[in-house]
Amino acid sequence: MQVKSKIEITPENKCSFCTGSICCNYVTQHIDAPRSKVDFQHLLWQVSHDNVKAYKDEDGWTLLIETKCQHLQIDGACGIYTTRPQICRDHSNEYCEFDAPSEDGFDLYFQNYEELLAYCKKRFRRWE
């Protein structure tokens, strides 16, 4: 018999239930929307690197670099919590990766060179 937990998960306690500290394992950088072949060739170069992906969502185009924060402790806590950067302080977990994967909100998602190249070949008649 499975017993359901009676603990309500709220923004105040949600991080303690998150395994892997998902939000502390990547950085993102908004980029200008690629429009030309040259723009997409540059993006192809970027996603050719390990742990670099690209996506487009309602906010535009973004590079996603999967890399663990150097201050993330083994237990998932922040090692510099009281002096953490402002972007970390501003991060809201109201609705985050704990609730649903980020990918669910992406219009386009390119995890590697091959995926982006296939998109480029469809987008541009004469890619080669």
Task: Find the mean pLDDT for residues 50-74.
Answer: 96
Task: Find the mean pLDDT for residues 37-60.
Answer: 98
pLDDT at 111: 97
pLDDT tens digits, residue range 92-118? 888 888 889 899 999 999 999 999 999
Q: Long-range pairs for 74-77 at CB < 8 Å and ≥24 separation?
A: 76/15, 76/18, 76/19, 76/20, 76/21, 76/24
The CA-atom distances, in angstroms, between 37 and each of 8, 43, 64, 94, 116 are 50, 10, 21, 38, 12
The structure's pTM equals 0.85
State the Cα–Cα distance between residues 51 and 122, nearest whole angstrom: 24
pLDDT at 49: 98
pLDDT at 2: 53
State the Cα–Cα distance between residues 30 and 59, nearest whole angstrom: 9
